[in-house]
Structure 1
Amino acid sequence: MHRFTRPVLVATLAVAAALALAACGGGSSSSSDKGVADGSDSRIPAGAPLIDQDKLQFNPSQLTVKVGETVYFKNSETALHTVDIDGKNVSGNMKKNDVFTWVFQQPGSYKITCDYHPQMKATVTVTGS
């Protein structure tokens, strides 16, 4: 039987905790979690409204934009996704790294879903210009 000294045990537990946090994403949020592109994808301007499709969810699940503003949707995972607005597929099938844009022309609240994954839901609220 091995006996660990207290410093070795504490260090081992610290490493295990760090690995567990890294596996869960570490609790930090990316810019797409906030609905704003960070400019890391040259197809999406920095600061543009962005909803990311990742881990079988829309991220963020709620976004507010102005009438006429372009919203970017990006599929960041290997699963096939769609962007349905109020029940209508507007994007077609989106493969990994595909980007789709949509301009909301009227104020209102729009339900965003995916044909393949009914648990994926988001709301885009569009305000007057």
Structure 2
Amino acid sequence: MHRSLRLGLLAAAIGIAALALAACGGSSSSSGSTGVADGSDSRIPAGAPFIDQDRLRFIPETLRVKVGETVYFKNSETALHTVNVDGKNVSGNMKKNDVFTWVFQEPGNYRITCDYHPQMKATITVDPS
């Protein structure tokens, strides 16, 4: 009797956890958290390297591209954001729905931050082409 009760509670807990994880997914951005645009924003080609600025975060927080690839950044929220590459603001102020592009010319690891929100951090690894 106790064993079946425990199994039932365990199954219920697993079901609740699965629903909670599913509820956390989804985004209004042009990509989930994959770093690849899905084509839902006509300014960002499907399959392009993509970082969204949403919920005061860069999504995804890590991205890998090749030298010469264009990386797309989109501000999906009302807060102003910037794109700083290794501490230098390269985008200016980005308002909601602004899209900014940047092409990395040298291989390496680049730190991406926002002037207004110090918790926003991402790393882009650029591989030789």
- TM-score, normalised with respect to structure 1: 0.79
Asked if 1:40 corresponds to 2:40, the answer is yes
Q: CA deviation at 1:32?
A: 3.6
Q: Secondary structure at the match of 1:43?
A: coil
Is the 1:36–1:48 Cα contact (8 Å) retained in structure 2? Answer: yes
Quick one: structure 1 residues 25 and 87, their matched pair in 2 at CA, closer, same or farther if it must change by over 3 Å? Answer: farther
Unaligned runs of 5+ in 1: 1-16
Determine the structure 1 residue equivalent to 2:12.
none
Q: How does 1:110-121 map to 2 (within 5 A)?
A: 110-121=110-121
Determine the structure 1 residue equivalent to 2:23.
26
Supply the distance in 2 between the matched residues of 1:58 and 1:118 (Cα, whole angstroms).
11
Give the residue type in structure 1 aligned to 2:43: R
Determine the structure 2 residue equivalent to 1:11.
none
Q: Secondary structure at the match of 2:33?
A: helix
Determine the structure 1 residue equivalent to 2:97.
97
Determine the structure 1 residue equivalent to 2:124.
124
Report the number of matched residues. Answer: 109
Matched-pair identity in %: 75
Q: Write the deviation string for residues 10-39 of structure 1: whole angstroms up to 9, x where unpaired.
A: xxxxxxx7xx84xx8713356341000000
Supply the distance in 2 between the matched residues of 1:58 and 1:110 (Cα, whole angstroms).
14
Supply the distance in 2 between the matched residues of 1:25 and 1:91 (Cα, whole angstroms).
33
Determine the structure 2 residue equivalent to 1:82.
82
Supply the distance in 1 between the matched residues of 2:105 and 2:32 (Cα, whole angstroms).
23
- TM-score, normalised with respect to structure 2: 0.79
Q: CA RMSD in A?
A: 1.7
Give the residue type in structure 1 aligned to 2:114: C
